[in-house]
């Protein structure tokens, strides 16, 4: 079990990683978006197209560090790179499905990218969201979406997660606001998950921290 692709890529939208010396000690590829306009929280179409072009050129496609969760919508583009049926496992304190109807004028955002993916990516067969508070869960009109809230110390079992996955390929996305504020601090309201709980979830606990995966992205590495 391994990644479909290898390597690390850091996307610089907001200088999140400039002081992350340990991260930079690993071989990686940097893509600079620090001067990109109209891309914070919501992303206008020209900016989204530029991000897509730069991602297409990169060689390190294994794990992508995106930076602040304000840019979580980049995962929508990363999902588009998978050319076979896959499941998305999202660790997040929010569902990122705050979109009822999409039209040509609707901007993708950090809070709606999962909805965009469900409506526009035919390869996406299953979405499993782990970590939202019950207060952040909105109505779910998709039968292919399973949401497992975590309000206190409740943990979703490995068996439960795997029982919902019927694809060979998995994409894992982690927003660090799923973690308790005692573990890390983010710029959004946070969940209650322990770090030990997160790293022991499949597919994080197999083969270092990666397993049958089409991609892997991490957000808010502070």
pLDDT at 198: 85
Asked if residues 94 and 109 have their Cβ atoms less than 8 Å apart, the reply is: no
| pLDDT tens per residue across span 102-131 | 666 789 999 999 999 999 999 999 999 999
| pLDDT tens per residue across span 136-188 | 666 677 889 999 988 655 677 778 888 899 998 889 899 988 888 888 878 78
pLDDT at 39: 97
In the chain, where the domains are located: 8-219
Rounded mean pLDDT, 80-104: 86
> Following CA atoms 200, 206, 207, 211 in sequence, which dihedral angle do they give, to the nearest 10 degrees?
-110
Residue 152 CB-density burial (10 A; 0-12 exposed, 13-18 middle, 19+ buried):
exposed
Query: What does the mean pLDDT of the chain come to?
Result: 83
Pick the CATH number of 8-219 from 3.40.605.10, 1.10.760.10, 3.40.800.10, 3.40.50.450: 3.40.800.10
What CA–CA distance (Å, rounded) separates 38 from 97? 21
Confidence of residue 208 (pLDDT cuts 50, 70, 90): very low
Gyration radius from the chain CA atoms: 16
| pLDDT tens per residue across span 149-161 | 886 556 777 788 8
How many C-alpha atoms does 222 have within 13 Å on its Cβ side? 14
- What's the pTM value of the predicted model, to 2 decimals? 0.87
């Amino acid at each position: 079990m391994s990644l479909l692709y290898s390597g690390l890529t850091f996307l610089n939208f907001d200088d999140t990683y400039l002081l992350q010396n340990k991260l930079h000690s690993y071989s990686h590829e940097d893509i600079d978006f620090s001067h990109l306009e109209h891309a914070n929280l919501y992303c206008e179409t020209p900016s989204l197209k530029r991000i897509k072009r730069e991602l297409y050129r990169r060689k390190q496609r294994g794990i992508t560090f995106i930076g602040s969760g304000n840019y979580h919508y980049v995962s929508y583009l990363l999902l588009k790179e998978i050319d076979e049926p896959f499941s998305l496992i999202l660790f997040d304190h929010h569902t990122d499905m705050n979109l009822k109807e999409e039209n040509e004028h609707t901007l993708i955002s950090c809070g709606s990218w999962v909805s965009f993916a469900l409506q526009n990516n035919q390869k996406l067969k299953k979405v499993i969201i782990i970590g939202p508070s019950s207060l952040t869960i909105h109505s779910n009109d998709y039968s292919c979406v399973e949401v497992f809230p975590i309000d206190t110390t409740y943990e979703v079992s490995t068996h439960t997660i795997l029982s919902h996955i019927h694809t060979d390929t998995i994409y894992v996305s982690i927003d660090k606001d799923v973690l308790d504020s005692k573990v890390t601090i983010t710029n959004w309201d946070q969940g209650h998950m322990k770090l030990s709980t997160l790293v022991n979830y499949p597919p994080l606990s197999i083969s270092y921290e990666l397993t049958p995966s089409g991609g892997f992205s991490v957000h808010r590495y502070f």
